Each structure stands twice: as structure tokens, then as C-alpha cells.
Structure 1
């Protein structure tokens, strides 16, 4: 059984930081862009960062920072935003599918209509290897909504996923993630 939960200990946060570093090394070795402006592993080490992880039998397979953020500068309305999603190198696309299913269901349970995410896009979206990645994401239900400045500084491909209740999913993925807090520029509470 899989479990999506918050990273609550220093050891789990360090494991997530190591996973991010391993993924960044893998991306660089395969000629894919790696964020240069932000120290993403450090974000996962910080206790105040509310990061989550996908675990299988205690093994961390993926980590991310789920946020409620209606003011990304793109897209309309409030959303569940998945920031800094990283998967363990060498895993199949099944991990991405599990994250997709979980995020869609989690957003629906939060009464949100959409999940948004970004992936670094230094070149045209139609250029491989980015085009291949975006193709795999669209195969799992994500929609590519163009590109533009990303939250972490660089040019990013913008992704949206419709929220959908998936009642049977809890038999596959246990979810221990509380509703994410709104970010400081959440104007929906103003």
C-alpha cells in the first residue's frame, strides 16, 4: 500500500532533500534542465516547509510541496498547486500516475476544481526531451496550458489537472495530508 503524508521528521526531510539531489543529478546526466535559481533540496530540509511524500512500505518514492494558491499569475480560480514535485530516479511512470490520481482526488476533497503544477521548460514545449515528458503527463490526465515565468524563477510549462473524486483510491493510497494552508498572497480570504 502507498501512503501520501507530510514529512514530519528531520530524517524524512533529509531523505527528501537527497531524493531531490538524486533527481537533479539524473536530469543533468540526461541533458534535461535543472533549476538554477533555487536551492530546492534546502527547501525540503526546512521544518517550516510543509512538504509531503509518497511512501511505499516506508520507502520515499516522491516528494512535493502541496499549496493552496489561487494567485499563480496564470490559470483561473483557486487550485491545489504542487510545487517542486520530484520522483526517485529509476522508477516507472506508475509513480507519476499515483501522484496524479492522489492530487486529483485530494483537490476534489478540498472542494477545489483543479490541480496546477509547473515543470522547467528552457526550450520550446515541442522540443524533446521536454515534449516526451509532457506527452507522458498528458497521457495521465494533465493538460498543458502553455509556458511562461514559473514560480521558482525560470521559464516553465504550465500544467492543469481536473479535480475528481476517486472513492476507491483510498484502498491503494492512504492519505495523511491535511488541507494545505493558503499562501501569503491568497487574496480569496481578503
Structure 2
């Protein structure tokens, strides 16, 4: 996991988001209506990160330190998480483990994220996705307006130090509340 530092990496992330949005649309699944997420990843001032394997971008996201929000207290907020279509749950599981560890190292109690939820949480395919995420340790904290204005399912994950994680994933992501010269490593 590392920060997207070049225009080429940011463009690759924007293309990944577009591929994911196209994949969702072809399956009749909703995408955010009020936000141009690919443009967000193209912006140099957006502190976005990517999960790479052998130079290939498998996922991108925007890690943010949030002092408060829909949950109580500060958190590591994972904004706009997108995985390359066709990837296994292993990518999502690695992001989950990584985020939990980073939050713990930053002294934050939880990780929060949002998933678009235009239908009831028990309705498929959303219910299937939420079951997979709860199996990975995420807790569903209800629904409400998301950061981009759409109705979302709110997810929370306890922070937990994971000392053995380095064997699976290395981290070169700036800690969200630190200056750009300070780096965290898993």
C-alpha cells in the first residue's frame, strides 16, 4: 500500500474507478450519482493511496483522519474504496487488515467506511456484500447520508495492531494527520 505520487499513478487509479463503475453499471448496481470519483483521484492535492502487487494497481482509496462524523470520536476514514473488477475478496481482506493496523498505530480506536445503500440492507446484492464484510470484522452501524450525499451503509472496524502483517503487505502511506515527510510503515 502506498501513496499515489505521480500523475500516471493517479490516472491509473481514475481508470480503475471508471472500470469499477462500468462493472457495477453493467450488473445493474448503483454508483454514486453526485460525485465525480475518477476526477477526485486525478487531483494531485487528494492524498490517495493504492494497493499494488508486482506494479499492478489492485485497489485505490483515500485514507483520511476524521476527528468526528457519524460515529463517536476520531477515526481513520476510508473514502472512495475501489477494487479492480474481477479480484477476489483477498484484496478487500488485505485492505481491512491494513486499515485496522494503521488506525491502531495512529492511536485511533476505529476505522470507518461507507457503502452505497439505495435499498434496504437486507436486500440482495447489498446484503451479500455486507455479510462478506462482517465476516472480515466490519460492523454495520446503520444507514444515513454519506459524505457525497447519497444514502449509505455505515461500517466500522476496531483498530488492532497486527504485527505479522508485514509478511502480507508493506505500507508506505503518509499518516493522515502527519506532515507529508512523516511516513508510516507496516
TM-score by length of 1: 0.92
> 1:80-91 maps to which residues of 2 (within 5 A)?
80-91=76-87
Higher relative CO (Cα under 8 Å, sequence separation at least 6) belongs to 1
State the Cα deviation string for residues 103-156 of structure 1 (Å, max 9, x = none). 000100000010000010001011001101111100111000000000011000
Provide the rounded CA distance (Å) in 1 between the counterparts of 2:3 and 2:174: 8
- Equivalenced residue count is 178
1:14/1:44 contact within 8 Å kept? yes
Aligned to 1:75: 71
Aligned to 1:108: 104
Shifted more, 27-36 versus 97-106: the winner is 27-36
Provide the rounded CA distance (Å) in 2 between the counterparts of 1:103 and 1:144: 16
Provide the rounded CA distance (Å) in 2 between the counterparts of 1:161 and 1:25: 28
Is there any run of 5+ residues in structure 1 with no aligned partner, and where?
183-190
Aligned to 1:12: 9
Aligned to 1:45: 42
- How far the C-alpha of 1:20 sits from its partner, in A, is 0.2
Aligned to 1:152: 148
- Is 1:177 matched up with 2:178? no
TM-score by length of 2: 0.94
- Is 1:167 matched up with 2:163? yes
The secondary structure found in structure 2 opposite 1:161 is: strand
- How far the C-alpha of 1:29 sits from its partner, in A, is 1.1
Provide the rounded CA distance (Å) in 2 between the counterparts of 1:140 and 1:41: 27
Aligned to 1:62: 59
Provide the rounded CA distance (Å) in 2 between the counterparts of 1:71 and 1:100: 20
Is there any run of 5+ residues in structure 2 with no aligned partner, and where?
179-186
Provide the rounded CA distance (Å) in 2 between the counterparts of 1:93 and 1:145: 21
Provide the rounded CA distance (Å) in 2 between the counterparts of 1:127 and 1:53: 30
